[in-house]
Amino acid sequence: MEYSLVCHNLCALWSSPVKKKLILLSIMFLIWVYMLYSCVGYCSTMPSLVVDSYRGKETVSAVGKRTESGRTDLVSRLLAKPQPWEDIESDYEEPSIRTAASRDLLDNEMDMDRAEDWDEMRGEQQRAPEPSAMSSFSNGSGSKKLPQAIIIGVKKGGTRALLEFLRVHPDIRAVGAEPHFFDRNYDNGLEWYRELMPKTLEGQITMEKTPSYFVTREAPARISAMSRDTKLIVVVRDPVTRAISDYTQTLSKKPDIPSFESLTFKNRTTGLIDTSWSAIQIGIYAKHLDNWLHYFPMEQILFVSGERLISDPAGELGRVQDFLGLKRIITDKHFYFNQTKGFPCLKKAEGSSKPHCLGKTKGRTHPNIDPEVVQRLRDFYRPFNMKFYQMTGHNFGWD
């Protein structure tokens, strides 16, 4: 009796058209909520893995380590403490034993390079892009490719200025932060590296810059293994001025470091130069170049003068555009000279209608160095400079 009554009520309820629609909508809504809940739960726990083609194992995806919230954090990956890289061994008469002070300086220089690179990135993010600037990328078009050209050096030579100038060109797309893939992050694999790159369209060039590649022994072989056709750009500068600039950067972060003079010499009395100090070692360009020439022909390497990049930026950028096989779009009209900073600035930066100069970390005033020490360094570098001129077929006029 009770069963018949229940069936009768259900049939009456179902026979009502309005109530029938409400029941169907309710069922569909519950199914939709359940599917959404299941999808979110799956996505939040699914590991993002890629196969490391070099080591045959699974590694965390290219965009970096997964945070506790289940998302990846590229910033933490770029700012993570780098793996120490082995300095190039010295084959000169001076013993290659690094003093405690210079070893500490080298470690801190890595951290400062990374911090300054991040400062530049934050400055770029603060420049609001124009609505029409690179609009083709706003809808997700293009694809990420391994770089066809890399600015491999040198530190404090003008690499940041060159990169910023080149980014004005519509056919160049470059990652802003230094990836340090071929010196510190190589174990992460090529897919990790590729994911750091910006998207490019057909005919556009992908670029990156990491100045420490030039002095890293393993970098030439690693880049060659990626692609033997990679074009390499080296920004070189008077090695004495470069060393002082290098020291000035360190001094701005650590005012209590030893004097430039005490770090330059192993023995001030005998005038023996300490080539284990990275600020000195980087400027021995001929030694580092010899390592690269074992893997790349000279015609694939372009040497940009850091001095001419200041005095004639359009001229140097013309050479770079020719080297990359691009139309000369960046010309004199893109630059003006900033008297206060002592550097050329862009009249119109990438993605902005406003003038753009490099950040406050560029163009620091150098400390006064004993002229005798400067002369001793010039004497030390002279034979290496002559060899470098001979190797490159270009006299940079540093002597």
* pLDDT, averaged across the chain: 77
pLDDT above 90: residue 69: no
Q: What is the pLDDT of residue 399?
A: 81
Q: What is the pLDDT of residue 255?
A: 92
pLDDT above 80: residue 319: yes
Per annotation, catalytic residue among 21, 81, 145, 156: 156
For residue 349, CA distances in Å to 336, 356, 381 come to 12, 6, 37
Pairwise CA distance, residues 331 & 314, whole Å: 5
For 209-258, the pLDDT digits (tens) are 999 999 999 999 999 999 999 999 999 999 999 999 999 999 988 999 99
Q: What is the pLDDT of residue 75?
A: 37
Q: What is the pLDDT of residue 136?
A: 42
For 187-208, the pLDDT digits (tens) are 999 999 999 999 999 999 999 9
**What confidence category does residue 358 fall into, taking pLDDT thresholds of 50, 70 and 90?**
low
Q: Which residues of 90-104 are buried (b: 16+ CB within 10 A; e: fewer)?
A: beeeeeeebeeebee
Contacts of 96 (CB under 8 A, 6+ apart): 89, 90, 275, 276
Q: What is the pLDDT of residue 243?
A: 97
- The structure's pTM equals 0.68
Greater confidence (129 vs 108) lies with 108
8 Å CB contact between 72 and 66: yes
Pairwise CA distance, residues 345 & 163, whole Å: 13
Q: Please choose, from the candidates 39, 42, 48, 41, the residue with its C-alpha nearest in 3D space to the C-alpha of residue 67.
A: 48
Q: What is the pLDDT of residue 336?
A: 76
**What confidence category does residue 36 fall into, taking pLDDT thresholds of 50, 70 and 90?**
confident
pLDDT above 60: residue 112: no
Say whether 156 is catalytic: yes
Q: What is the pLDDT of residue 160?
A: 94
Planar angle of CA 366, 371, 377, nearest 5 degrees: 85
Pairwise CA distance, residues 33 & 390, whole Å: 72
**What confidence category does residue 361 fall into, taking pLDDT thresholds of 50, 70 and 90?**
low
**What confidence category does residue 90 fall into, taking pLDDT thresholds of 50, 70 and 90?**
very low
pLDDT above 90: residue 6: no
